């Protein structure tokens, strides 16, 4: 059988090489497209889950605020004010029980800059039920008060330190700057005492061995010659 092929009108092409080359490229593009599509779907699902979680948290916060408001309204009633004031007083007594003037003054002495001294100090509980110190200090310049504020903020015993008011006046001793400083006091946690060692109960055999007297041998009873 004879087949005539006109190479001028029908040029020879290697179809296998063509499909191998372009088929591989198409497969890579398809895999990349699927990967991008999968990433998009996963990202959308994660975003949907995050939105649902945020909505739940907002709902919980709203419910907590409503519960807190209802509790405050209940305590603010005239018949409940006495109970509210008594509970606040008890909380203040509990907080002030851990308050030590000696420890506070020692901590302030460690951070007090030169030519600055404490005029007055007053502890009280803030709205977050934390122990706040309201102090009045005097010095020869405003920079001394700012340095005290910085030292207190760097100390581990004071937090949220700020200057609430400043006053300047001429004086004979050179102290012409007076500042009101507010800070949260963080007292040290006292170490818990170690538990007393427990004694082991003696067995009946050990008790009998203590009660039994040692027998004296014949050498101990015989007189010496």
pLDDT of amino acid 192:
42
Task: Label residue 147 by pLDDT band (50, 70, 90).
Answer: very high
Whether the Cβ atoms of residue 156 and residue 198 lie closer than 8 Å to each other: no
pLDDT digit string, tens, across residues 91-101: 665 566 666 78
Residues 217, 225: Cα–Cα separation, whole Å: 17
* Residue 144, domain extent: 100-185
Asked whether residue 115 falls in the same domain as residue 176, the answer is: yes
Domain count, the chain: 2
Sign of CA dihedral 160, 164, 169, 171: negative
78: DSSP letter: G
Inside any domain, residue 120: yes
* pLDDT, mean of residues 145-166: 90
Inside any domain, residue 208: no
Whether the Cβ atoms of residue 160 and residue 185 lie closer than 8 Å to each other: no
Whether the Cβ atoms of residue 103 and residue 151 lie closer than 8 Å to each other: no
């Amino acid at each position: 059988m004879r087949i005539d092929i006109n190479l001028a009108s029908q040029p020879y092409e290697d179809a296998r090489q063509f499909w191998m080359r372009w088929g591989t490229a198409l497969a890579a593009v398809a895999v990349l497209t699927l990967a991008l599509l999968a990433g998009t779907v996963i990202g959308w699902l994660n975003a949907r889950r995050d939105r649902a979680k945020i909505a739940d948290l907002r709902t919980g916060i709203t419910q907590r605020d409503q519960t807190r408001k209802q509790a405050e309204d209940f305590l603010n009633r005239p018949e409940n004010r006495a109970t509210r004031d008594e509970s606040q007083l008890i909380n203040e007594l509990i907080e002030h029980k851990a308050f030590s003037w000696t420890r506070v003054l020692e901590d302030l002495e460690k951070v007090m800059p030169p030519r600055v001294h404490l005029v007055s100090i007053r502890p009280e509980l803030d709205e977050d039920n934390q122990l706040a110190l309201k102090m009045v200090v005097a010095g020869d310049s405003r920079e001394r008060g700012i340095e005290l504020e910085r030292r207190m903020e760097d100390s581990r015993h004071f937090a949220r330190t700020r200057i609430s008011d400043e006053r300047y006046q001429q004086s004979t001793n050179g102290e012409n700057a007076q500042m009101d400083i507010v800070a949260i006091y963080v007292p040290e946690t006292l170490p818990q005492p170690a538990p007393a060692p427990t004694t082991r109960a003696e067995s009946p055999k050990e008790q009998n061995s203590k009660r039994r007297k040692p027998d004296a041998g014949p050498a101990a009873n015989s007189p010496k010659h």
